[in-house]
């Protein structure tokens, strides 16, 4: 089955700096790669996603890049703010198969 590895497990940055979280996947048939943000005590919520026919997608301060050949994708957050502090999860899934495999999460702390 699919295996998703996520690094780093914890990340601390100063407000205004950039943060990068990386994930690798094992199943070359995976074609949908979402990123979820989970604030303390809350449910995970989708913040950005990318499909395998796209190399990069951007939404304001967040962007995701995908390298299908190397089977890795990354989340980039620029101009970080304290409210970006949360746990971020990457995931991989195959089209209409429904279920996703999640990474173990990255705890991001943005210091004011």
Task: Return residues touching another protein (CB under 8 A).
Answer: 1, 6, 9, 32, 34, 42-46, 49, 51, 89, 93, 95-96, 98-105
- Cβ within 8 Å of residue 56, ≥6 positions away: 50, 63, 64, 65, 66
CB 107 to another protein: min, Å: 9
- Pick the closer one to another protein by CB: 2 or 78: 2
Give the CA angle between residues 28, 55, 72 to the nearest 5°: 45
Nearer to another protein, 27 or 49 (CB): 49
Nearer to another protein, 9 or 26 (CB): 9
Report CA 85 to chain centroid distance, whole Å.
14
Minimum distance between the CB of residue 59 and another protein, rounded to whole angstroms? 14
Backbone dihedral region for residue 28 (phi beyond 0: left; psi -120 to 50: alpha; all else: beta): alpha
Closest separation between CB of residue 43 and another protein, Å? 4
């Amino acid at each position: 089955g699919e295996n998703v590895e996520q690094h780093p497990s914890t990340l601390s940055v100063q407000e205004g700096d950039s943060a990068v979280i990386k994930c690798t996947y094992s199943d070359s048939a995976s074609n949908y790669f979402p990123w979820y943000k989970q604030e303390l005590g809350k449910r995970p919520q989708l913040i950005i996603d990318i499909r395998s026919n796209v190399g990069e997608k951007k939404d304001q301060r967040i962007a995701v890049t995908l390298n299908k050949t190397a089977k890795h994708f990354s989340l980039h957050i620029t101009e970080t703010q304290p409210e970006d502090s949360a746990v971020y999860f990457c995931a991989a899934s195959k089209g209409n198969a429904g279920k996703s495999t999640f990474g173990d999460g990255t705890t991001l702390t943005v210091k004011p």
